[in-house]
Amino acid sequence: MNEMKKCKTCTRDLPSSYKHNKCESSRNKKIDGAKKILKVVERVGGVVAPVVVGMLLNKTKNKKK
């Protein structure tokens, strides 16, 4: 007889042959959250990186003089 497993986050019933501990919906929510965080990191990095590179280039120009 097939035993039912439960999703760890939302307690939805999963078939016993299901290879993950979380249902598709819960897994997708976690992935969407990670994508949002990466978008924020990308935007911050896009603003900060040119400033840091400019500071480093300016620092090396002053040392050569």
Spatial CB neighbours of 6, under 8 Å, sequence gap ≥ 6: 12, 13, 14
Q: Which residues constitute the domain of residue 47?
A: 4-64
User: Alpha-carbon Rg of the chain, whole angstroms?
Assistant: 24
**Is 18 exposed, middle or buried (CB count within 10 Å of its CB: 0-12, 13-18, 19+)?**
middle
Domain count, the chain: 1
Residue 6 host element (H or E): strand 4-6
Which residue reads 């990095």 in tokens?
45
Q: pTM value?
A: 0.64
Helices (H), 1-65: 24-64
Query: What is the tens place of the pLDDT at every residue in 7-42?
Result: 999 999 999 888 999 999 999 999 999 999 999 999
